[in-house]
Amino acid sequence: MPTERFNRLPEAKRQAIREAALKEFARVPFDKASINQIIRNADISRGSFYTYFVDKQDVVEFLLKDTFEKMEDICKKELNHNGGDYFAMVEMMFDYFVGELRQNPDMVTVARNIFFNKENNELVGMGRWPSPDCVAMPDSPARWMYENIDRSRFQFETMEEIFPLAVLAMSSLATSLKQYYEYPEQLENIRKMFCKSLDILKYGVYKREEP
């Protein structure tokens, strides 16, 4: 993990290092990324770098932690705003990431280059995803989401029961964002299909039998 000295840096300096690292990870896959290039991009000395991080793996941990904390905060605010409506939150996430892709089209390349490395997948539990084992992780996105949604809306209550729903919803989100990345001019149609997929998850596909 990044050192306490790094955590005490002014936000502007932390942001400069973050942007420098993202620029390098957008350029090449993780294994080929250069610490020297990150140092040049951030305009810091090599000595300073090693008082902040052990290696570039530490840099990735900082980027992931920063990203997940930001996304978690946004999702919690949305759930507070909409009364714990899980599906409204997922729909908001689509719009949020579309906006992010418009502003930062390199973010897909950055994610691909970072997660090309197996150790980076393990950092976020992707090595076990979609195994239900990852819900046991204390800082798992599945866990905090479970704790913040309105579970009274569902036919089931436990995290193990809700987890498959989250897998399907996030898979649909990822697929729709990939489609948007490849065909941005089709945003309206992609969004309609995404919302339809959420409706299917909410209401099912079978007709209810009359008693």
Range(s) of the domain holding residue 192: 4-203
Judged by phi (left if over 0) then psi (alpha if -120 to 50, else beta), residue 208 lies in beta
pLDDT of 99 over the 70 cut: yes
Q: List pLDDT tens digits, range 33-83.
A: 999 999 999 999 999 999 999 999 889 888 888 888 888 899 999 999 999
State residue 37's pLDDT score.
Answer: 95
Sorting pLDDT into bands at 50, 70 and 90, what band is 143?
confident
DSSP 140-177: -HHHHHHHHS-GGGSS--SHHHHHHHHHHHHHHHHHHH
Q: List pLDDT tens digits, range 177-187.
A: 989 988 999 99
Residue 25 sits in a domain whose CATH number is 1.10.357.10
Q: How many domains does the chain have?
A: 1
Contact, 155 vs 204, CB < 8 A? no
Looking at per-residue pLDDT, the higher value among 166 and 85 belongs to 85
Domain-located, residue 97? yes
Sorting pLDDT into bands at 50, 70 and 90, what band is 193?
very high
Q: List pLDDT tens digits, range 20-37.
A: 999 999 999 888 999 999
pLDDT of 94 over the 90 cut: yes
State residue 118's pLDDT score.
Answer: 58
Sorting pLDDT into bands at 50, 70 and 90, what band is 112?
confident
Domain-located, residue 211? no
**Distance between CA 56 and CA 34 in Å, rounded?**
8
State residue 210's pLDDT score.
Answer: 61
Domain-located, residue 72? yes
Domain-located, residue 159? yes
Sorting pLDDT into bands at 50, 70 and 90, what band is 140?
low
Domain-located, residue 208? no
State residue 109's pLDDT score.
Answer: 87
State residue 130's pLDDT score.
Answer: 46
Domain-located, residue 56? yes
Domain-located, residue 209? no
Contact, 198 vs 90, CB < 8 A? yes
For all residues of the chain together, what is the average pLDDT?
A: 85
